Amino acid sequence: MIIQLAPEITSDQREALKTQISSLKYKTNEVRTQIGEYIIGIGKEKFDVRNIGHLPGIKDIHIVSDDYKLVSRKWKVNQTTIDLGDGVLIGDGHFALMAGPCSIEGEENIVKTINHLKENGVQIMRGGVFKPRSSPYSFRGMGIEGLKLWYQLARENGIKIVTEVMQVSQIEEMHDYVDMFQVGARNTQNFNLLDELGKVDKAVMIKRGISGTIDELLYSAEYVFSGGNEKLLLCERGIRTYERASRNTFDINAIPILKEKTHLPVIADPSHGVGIRDHVEPVALASTVAGADGVIFEIHEKPEKAFSDGQQTLDYEESAKLIRKMRALRELV
Ligand code: PEP
Ligand code: MN
């Protein structure tokens, strides 16, 4: 069960509430987020919600049978909107595009990307400065100095930043220079990282694990939410299957399933999802029709020269065409 507490609840009322929940053989977990306060009751016994619902200090109470609670749509029926500031909204009808290079490569690369985004009305730029690479000898990103440079140029141009945080120690140094933290597919179940991101007042986009189930992704989101941060987005980026014809198997099913299970916005990443430049567009368009709240994709002025993931990166002409088509499709559906 989820009990949303009234802001004016007294400590006596809180104790009475907890005693009542314990008497139902439910374990109580208190959650305080930047937006509200909740008591999460965990238990199996059936009970009459009216036995608790009448107690003073309760704003709302819901029975949520899912193992994840706060991210469940059984609790919050209306979709969540993520507000990045300056009118940049994601979710509940606000379709968000996020594009940029796999890795931030330097000033020229940043400026060219920003210009392309502005020409096409895209408000959020992606890019990695800390890169998880399969080989330690691959380019591992420009680091915090690259992020600071990027931030300065992005701010001057009204562009928001989404970038991957790989470990707890990076959160603080990155904090002032990002609009949205990305949790990468290799870190979806890094529970320490998720706990710490719960304390952050910035949006967090969690990617689905390489071999992660949909429910595991939702549990990861529950970590951040119950840690205090409700500004959450989920991202389907393809999973590892026996198929070798594509880099990953983009799970289109995950989009409508996630939309049914959670109130959080669902973003599609067709670039990593298929991993093949020529097929990014159809997968992006399919995701748009499937109900994604946004699409994140990799672009570069010269994909064949990109420091990482060039094989799945669109050039600006392909990007502009894709953006036009996604917007047209959104109108249609
Ligand atoms: C990325 O976005 O560049 C990235 C590394 O993504 P993922 O964690 O999905 O592999
Ligand atoms: Mn990449």
Would you give the distance in Å from CA 255 to the centre of its chain? 13
CA 27, CA 37: separation in Å to the nearest integer?
Answer: 17
Atom of ligand 1 nearest to the CA of 296: 2
Report the CATH fold assignment for 2-62. Alpha-Beta Plaits (3.30.70)
CA 309 to centroid of ligand 2, rounded, Å: 5
Atom of ligand 1 nearest to the CA of 269: 9
CA 329 to centroid of ligand 1, rounded, Å: 26
Q: Closest Cα to atom 1, ligand 1: which residue?
A: 102
For residues 154-165, give the mean pLDDT: 98
CA 194, CA 181: separation in Å to the nearest integer?
Answer: 11
- Is the pLDDT at 327 greater than 90? The verdict is yes
- What top-level class would CATH report for the domain 82-332? alpha beta
CA 233 to centroid of ligand 1, rounded, Å: 15
CA 311 to centroid of ligand 1, rounded, Å: 14
Res 333: pLDDT: 87
Would 2-62 and 82-332 be classified into the same CATH topology?
Answer: no
On the 0-12 / 13-18 / 19+ scale of CB atoms within 10 A, 275 is buried
Digit-coded pLDDT (tens) for 77-136 = 999 999 999 999 999 999 999 999 999 999 999 999 999 999 999 999 999 999 999 999
- Is the pLDDT at 169 greater than 90? The verdict is yes
Res 120: pLDDT: 98
Q: What is the pTM of this model?
A: 0.97
Q: Residues in the chain, how many?
A: 333
When the pLDDT of each residue in the chain is averaged and rounded to a whole number, the result is 97
Res 250: pLDDT: 98
Comparing C-alpha atoms, which of 60, 95, 91, 61 is closest to residue 78? 91
Distances (CA, A) of 194 to 168, 248, 321: 9, 24, 36
pLDDT band at 151 (very low <50, low <70, confident <90, very high): very high
Res 298: pLDDT: 99
Q: Closest Cα to atom 9, ligand 1: which residue?
A: 185
Query: CB within 8 A of 170, min separation 6: which ones?
Result: 130, 144
Comparing C-alpha atoms, which of 137, 121, 63, 112 is closest to residue 88? 121
Atom of ligand 1 nearest to the CA of 132: 5
Query: Residue 237 CA: which ligand is closest?
Result: 1
CA 15 to centroid of ligand 1, rounded, Å: 45
For residues 170-198, give the mean pLDDT: 98
Q: List pocket residues of ligand 1, CB cut-off 6 Å.
A: 102, 128, 132, 184-185, 207, 237, 272
- Is the pLDDT at 21 greater than 90? The verdict is yes
Best residue among 166, 237, 271 to mutate for probing ligand 1, ranked by most atoms within 8 Å of CB: 237
User: What are the residue ranges spanned by the domains of the chain?
Assistant: 2-62, 82-332
For residues 59-63, give the mean pLDDT: 94
Residue recorded with tokens 């100095």 = 145
Query: Residue 248 CA: which ligand is closest?
Result: 1
Res 51: pLDDT: 85
